[in-house]
C-alpha cells in the first residue's frame, strides 16, 4: 500500500512538472514571438499631390532663317571711306555704305550686317556681297509626318534647342502648308522663334519640339506608382498609416504621371520606399 501511494505521488509530481514545462514553454514562446515580430515602421519619403502641366510633343529638326533678309552687291572701287560691316546693327533707312556715285546703300529694315567676299576668278570678283538680316525673330521651317495633321494648328507652343546653347528658346507654330508632300508624306509648318537677344544665327540646325494636348492635372512621381497588369495603385498616408489606393493614370512628363481618378489634390503619397510598404501598415515619414 505504501508503495502504491509512493508511485502515485511520483506520477502526480511528474505530471505537474511536465505540465509546468509545457506552460512555461508556451509563455516563453509568446514572449519571444511578440518581441521579435514587432518590427520598426519602415521609413518612407512622401510627396504631396499637386497639379502639374502635362502634354504630348513631337520632335524634329529645322534650319534657322532670318525672318527678313536682304543682299546688296557693290563694287569695291565705288566704296567711299572705311568699310564697317562686321557685327554692325543698322536701323531702317540708315546708310550702310557710301558710294562715289552718291547712290548710297540704304538699309531696307532694321537688322545686323554681314559680308561675303566673292572668290578670286569668279566673274565680278571686284564686287562685294553685303547681307542684312532681321534677327529679332527667327523662322524655322519643319516637316511634320502627315499623321499629326489632326493636331497641328497655328499657335501651338514650340521649344527650340541647339547644342551650342544651354537654354531653351520659345516659339510657336505660325503657319501650316495647305498641302501634304506626296513624296515624303509630310506637311510643312513654320515656327517663329523669339531671338531678341540675337543669339541664334541663321543657318544653325535647331531641334524643335512642338507641344500639343496640354492639360493642367494632378500628378504624382513615377516612383510612387506601382503597376500590376492593368491596375495601377499608390500608397496614401493618413496618420502615418499607408492605404493602398487604386488609381487611373494618364500622360507622363518629366518623371511625373498624371492621375485621372483615385486621388485628390493635397493627398500625401509614398514616393520613395514603396517596396517596403504594405496596406494598412505603419510607416515613418523621413522627408528631408
Query: Is 193 a member of any domain?
Result: yes
CATH number at residue 224: 2.40.420.20
Residue 31's pLDDT is 65
Contact, 129 vs 114, CB < 8 A?
no
Domain range for 153 is 57-62+137-214
Domain ends where: 134, 152, 178?
A: 134
Report the half-sphere exposure of 42 (CA within 13 A, side-chain side). Answer: 16
In a domain, 234, yes or no: yes
Contact 32, 24 (CB under 8 A): no
User: What pLDDT does 120 receive?
Assistant: 47
Instruction: Say if strands 284-285 and 43-48 run parallel, antiparallel, or are unpaired.
Output: parallel
114: domain CATH number is 2.40.50
- Asked if residue 144 lies in contact with residue 186, where contact means CB atoms within 8 angstroms, the answer is yes
- Answer for the pair 127, 118: CB distance below 8 angstroms, yes or no: yes
Centroid of chain to Cα 264: 24
Beta bridge partners of 142: 189
Do 223 and 235 sit in the same domain of this protein? yes
Q: Which of 88, 110, 134 is the last residue of a domain?
A: 134
Instruction: Please give the distance of CA 151 from its chain centroid, rounded to a whole number.
Output: 20
Instruction: Say if residue 179 is in the same domain as residue 221.
Output: no
Q: Do 158 and 130 belong to one domain?
A: no
4 inside domain:
no
In a domain, 28, yes or no: no
| Domain end (from 134, 162, 185) | 134
Instruction: Give a yes or no: residue 210 inside a domain.
Output: yes
- Same domain flag for 281 and 224: yes
Would 279 be classed as within a structural domain? yes
Note whether residue 33 is domain-resident.
Answer: no
Given a contact cutoff of 8 angstroms between Cβ atoms, the answer to whether 128 and 74 are in contact is yes
Does 273 map to a domain?
Answer: yes
How far is Cα 214 from Cα 152, in angstroms, rounded to an integer? Answer: 13
pLDDT tens string for the chain (288 positions)?
Answer: 456 677 777 777 777 888 788 887 777 776 666 655 556 788 888 899 999 888 989 999 999 999 898 888 888 777 877 777 777 888 888 888 888 876 888 888 888 888 765 544 444 557 788 888 999 999 999 999 999 999 999 999 999 999 999 999 999 999 999 999 999 999 999 999 999 889 999 999 999 999 999 889 999 999 999 998 889 999 999 998 889 999 999 888 888 999 999 899 999 999 998 888 889 888 888 886
Question: pLDDT tens across 67-107, in order?
Answer: 898 888 888 777 877 777 777 888 888 888 888 876 888 88
Say what the pTM is: 0.67
Say whether both 177 and 156 belong to one domain: yes
The domain tally of the chain equals 3
Amino acid at each position: 500500500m505504501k508503495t502504491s501511494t509512493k508511485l502515485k505521488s511520483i506520477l502526480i509530481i511528474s505530471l505537474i512538472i511536465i505540465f509546468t514545462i509545457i506552460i512555461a514553454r508556451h509563455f516563453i514562446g509568446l514572449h519571444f514571438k511578440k518581441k521579435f515580430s514587432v518590427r520598426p515602421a519602415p521609413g518612407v519619403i512622401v510627396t504631396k499631390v499637386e497639379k502639374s502641366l502635362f502634354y504630348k510633343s513631337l520632335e524634329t529638326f529645322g534650319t534657322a532663317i532670318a525672318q527678313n533678309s536682304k543682299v546688296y552687291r557693290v563694287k569695291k572701287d565705288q566704296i567711299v571711306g572705311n568699310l564697317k560691316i562686321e557685327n554692325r546693327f543698322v536701323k531702317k533707312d540708315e546708310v550702310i555704305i557710301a558710294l562715289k556715285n552718291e547712290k548710297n546703300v540704304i538699309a531696307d529694315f532694321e537688322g545686323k550686317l554681314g559680308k561675303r567676299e566673292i572668290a578670286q576668278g569668279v566673274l565680278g570678283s571686284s564686287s562685294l556681297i553685303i547681307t542684312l538680316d532681321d534677327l529679332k525673330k527667327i523662322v524655322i521651317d519643319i516637316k511634320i509626318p502627315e499623321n499629326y495633321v489632326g493636331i497641328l494648328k497655328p499657335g501651338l507652343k514650340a521649344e527650340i534647342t541647339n547644342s551650342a546653347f544651354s537654354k531653351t528658346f520659345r516659339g510657336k507654330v505660325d503657319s501650316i502648308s495647305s498641302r501634304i508632300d506626296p513624296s515624303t508624306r509630310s506637311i510643312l509648318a513654320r515656327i517663329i522663334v523669339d531671338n531678341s537677344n540675337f543669339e541664334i544665327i541663321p543657318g544653325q540646325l535647331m531641334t524643335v519640339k512642338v507641344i500639343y494636348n496640354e492639360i493642367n492635372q494632378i500628378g504624382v512621381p513615377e516612383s510612387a506608382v506601382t503597376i500590376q497588369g492593368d491596375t495601377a495603385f499608390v500608397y496614401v498616408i493618413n496618420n502615418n498609416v499607408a492605404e493602398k489606393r487604386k488609381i487611373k493614370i494618364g500622360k507622363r512628363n518629366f518623371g511625373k504621371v498624371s492621375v485621372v481618378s483615385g486621388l485628390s489634390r493635397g493627398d500625401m503619397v509614398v514616393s520613395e520606399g514603396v517596396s517596403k510598404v504594405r496596406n494598412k501598415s505603419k510607416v515613418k515619414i523621413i522627408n528631408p
